[in-house]
Amino acid sequence: MALQKTVLLSSVLLSVCLGALQNHRNVPQYHELIRQGHTKLTQGESEPDFIHRFNGTTILQKMLSLDSMYNQALLLKKEFMTDLGSRIKMSAGCRDGFQLLLDGLKERSLWSLKLLDSIGKVPSGIFEGDFMWLGQYDECNAISQAFTDRITYNETFLVRGKYFVAELWNPFGYNSTDLRMGVCLPDACTATDVKEVLELAFFELYQYTNKTIKLSLKYVYHQETKYRSTPEFITASVICSIIGFLLLLGTLYDMFINQNFDSSKIGDVRVDRQDSDAQSVNSDTTHLLSDRTRVSVNAFRNKVLHNSKLRKFLLTFSVSTNGSKVLNTDALPPTALPALNGVRVLSLGLIILGHSHCFELGIAKNPAVFLNLVQRWTSQIVINGLYYVDSFFLLSGLLVSYLTLKELQKRDGKLNWLLFYFHRFCRLTPTFMLFILVYTAYFQYWGSGPLWPLTSPDYQNCKEYWWRNLLYIQNFFPIGEECIGWGWYLAVDMQFFVLSPLIIYPLYRKPLIGYIIILALMVMQLVYRGIMSVQLDMGLNVGHDLKLTTYPVESSDFFDKTYQTPYAKIAPYLIGILTGYFMWKSERRVKLPKVIVVLGWVIALVCVSSVMFGTTEQYRGHKSSTAVTALYNSLSKTTWSLGLAWIIFACSIGYGGFINTFLSARLWSPLSRLTYCAYLVHPVIMFVYTYSQRHPIYYTDINIVFLFLGFWMATYIA
């Protein structure tokens, strides 16, 4: 009797989960996770409004009514199988598996109890937003029961657990969150079988809740059975194998031949580094040392192994040589800008911190806690993480301007602009394309679990639209169609780079014309962002006006029109160009009165702080007027960039103090060299961790801190 009650209760709990399904969503892509996470971070809702929309009492009363419980109890009767077979088309294997399951439950068989135990059940904490009831994925897949002497079936039958994920529209009011539940059934059942069974079993429940029967199921494949030889898999395997072979060959050559030039012997011939570079062997000396045949062989080996072009090619793939260059922390020359290393590394770290929050919100057990945490002033550092990308635009513009002006000065105003563009394209594109290929081909094989996708989150987009990334134009298309959602930054930065000579060269020849161009472009951005702020009903630095009782409108327009468009992002790049120009013009030898230095630092810190923490009251429920919101959204990027530009400029001319000491520390150098690849890799690290989880993660500050540190370290290692 106790067992029957347990089974009945589990059936009722299953009904609660399956009762309000509306539609099915695919695996969230990067931009969708960021959007959902940012929505949860920025949405505020009072508890009474939440409970009113939830209407939990009414739902639970219907679910637990006697009629509903009686309908669920039908699952325990043998007659149910006959009724099931007459009303739906179920495969014979699934029908037998169901019968064995029901018989096993009556006999209290361990395998059937494990199968029942593996099914997700309603947890505590639904008022904190826990809508992921995943059950026990590994326990389900480990079930394997053989029947060899069943008189009823007169055949050998092997039952394995098969894990499904039922994805449902959330019946509790948070429309941004799908309700997902794990379902474990015999492996003979297909998704079609399970869907029809559940629709039949919960027909009465749908009548109670007035919902349309629309069930979505996803079978999570066993890891060992999901490998596929797709074209991208084969291509990536061939390319990676070639690169791997060259890495091995180059490293062995470097360690056992190149690094021992001064003390090595090849046969009877000693070779020093100078001789090898000259590609020559003293024939008189070698004739005295050995016979002509031996000298000929050794000379040939020496020519092959120490050929300068071959040597350079092999050393390109040496892990030893490249590793020593990447990890080098020697002091930089006086002409370098060491403070940029610290700014670059810390900016990426803050981006990873913001993404850590957004990604983990997708699998948080208590996402509603953010309704309170978002009101803290410290939370604005995470919420306003959009400005950290602007820091990279500033750095990019500064370096392009500073280095290009130095080259123009050295070459008397002449520069090969075709080579200027070609060099940039070749620096970024091979790595970018290889990353897309490897990510698209291999991601699905890097993990498993109830949340793990059958392909990479960007698989379909990359398969169809990878060429947009090759041309760096993907940001002009809807963000939902982008391959590698976070690659929009690379496209915008490349577009700014293409435009930069039209600004830098006038600055070099006729500074006034350069100033006019920069001013016109900055005014264009200010006007555009102000107009978009009003048209999209934006809040302060968010894609929608915050409403305390309703879910905000879809914010795809915010991403497409203001988040990833070059004409809404150009001010930081222009300010970077100006900063580089002033550094070049002054040769970084500027004498400033102490009052000016102090005033500059105060203004810079006020600019950065006002932008970062100016949104605090908004998330505490104090809505700004349309005019104030438009003004903030228009000026915030310019204000942030001006503050950061002063910090960099002051550090470069000797007025940085302890801040310059910190930003110029040698420990930043190795990490700074890896920033580009780290930016590409870090969302994939988060995808792998997030989708590998078997259960939701309980959000606390300490958990997020440790996750962030783990993501940060794993990113640079990868």
Average pLDDT, the chain: 78
Residues 6+ positions from 263 with CB-CB distance below 8 Å = none
Q: Is the confidence at residue 59, as pLDDT, over 80?
A: no
Q: Retrieve residue 296's tokens.
A: 């000929």
Give residue 168's pLDDT: 64
Q: Write down the residue that tokens 């970084």 correspond to.
A: 588
Which range among 83-97, 136-150, 228-242, 509-523 shows the weakest confidence by mean pLDDT? 83-97
Q: What is the mean pLDDT of residues 230-256?
A: 92
Q: What is the mean pLDDT of residues 463-474?
A: 94
Cα separation, 493 vs 643, whole angstroms: 21
Give residue 678's pLDDT: 96
| Band of residue 436 on the pLDDT scale cut at 50, 70, 90 | very high
| pLDDT > 70 in the chain, percent | 72
Give residue 23's pLDDT: 33
Give residue 714's pLDDT: 95
Give the CA distances from residue 582 to residues 253, 258, 285, 303, 406, in Å, rounded to whole numbers and listed in that order. 46, 44, 60, 51, 12
* Cβ atoms of residues 264 and 271 within 8 Å: yes
Neighbours of 605 (CB within 10 A): 13
Q: Is 161 helix (H, G, I), strand (E, B) or coil?
A: strand
Q: Which of 630, 684, 628 is nearest to 458 (CA)?
A: 684
Which of the two residues, 75 and 580, has the higher pLDDT score? 580
Give the CA distances from residue 373 to residues 356, 416, 551, 620, in Å, rounded to whole numbers and listed in that order. 15, 53, 18, 10
Q: Is the confidence at residue 389, as pLDDT, over 70?
A: yes
Which of the two residues, 215 and 703, has the higher pLDDT score? 703
Q: What is the mean pLDDT of residues 190-203?
A: 70
Give residue 398's pLDDT: 96
Residues 6+ positions from 15 with CB-CB distance below 8 Å = 63, 68, 72, 202, 205
| Band of residue 149 on the pLDDT scale cut at 50, 70, 90 | low
Q: Is the confidence at residue 397, as pLDDT, over 70?
A: yes
Model confidence pLDDT, tens digit, residues 319-377:
998 999 999 988 888 778 999 999 999 999 999 999 998 888 878 888 878 777 888 88
Model confidence pLDDT, tens digit, residues 586-627:
988 889 999 999 999 999 999 999 999 998 888 888 888 889
Tell me whether residue 372 is exposed, middle or buried, using C-beta atoms within 10 angstroms of its C-beta: 0 to 12, 13 to 18, 19 or more: exposed
Calculate the CA 211 to chain-centre distance. Answer: 35
Q: Write down the residue that tokens 């509603």 correspond to.
A: 368
Give residue 311's pLDDT: 83
Q: Is 265 helix (H, G, I), strand (E, B) or coil?
A: strand
| Band of residue 536 on the pLDDT scale cut at 50, 70, 90 | confident
Q: Is the confidence at residue 514, as pLDDT, over 50?
A: yes
Which of the two residues, 667 and 38, has the higher pLDDT score? 667
Q: Is the confidence at residue 301, as pLDDT, over 90?
A: no
Which range among 367-381, 674-688, 695-709 shows the weakest confidence by mean pLDDT? 367-381
Which of the two residues, 640 and 119, has the higher pLDDT score? 640
| Band of residue 82 on the pLDDT scale cut at 50, 70, 90 | low
SS3 content of the chain, % helix, strand, coil (to 5): 65, 5, 30
Give residue 8's pLDDT: 40
∠ CA 417-421-422 to the nearest 5 degrees?
110
Q: What is the mean pLDDT of residues 111-124?
A: 85
Q: What is the mean pLDDT of residues 639-665?
A: 94
Q: Is the confidence at residue 69, as pLDDT, over 60?
A: no
| pLDDT > 90 in the chain, percent | 39
Calculate the CA 19 to chain-centre distance. Answer: 33
| Band of residue 11 on the pLDDT scale cut at 50, 70, 90 | very low
Which range among 261-275, 349-363, 702-716 shows the weakest confidence by mean pLDDT? 261-275
Q: Is the confidence at residue 219, as pLDDT, over 70?
A: no
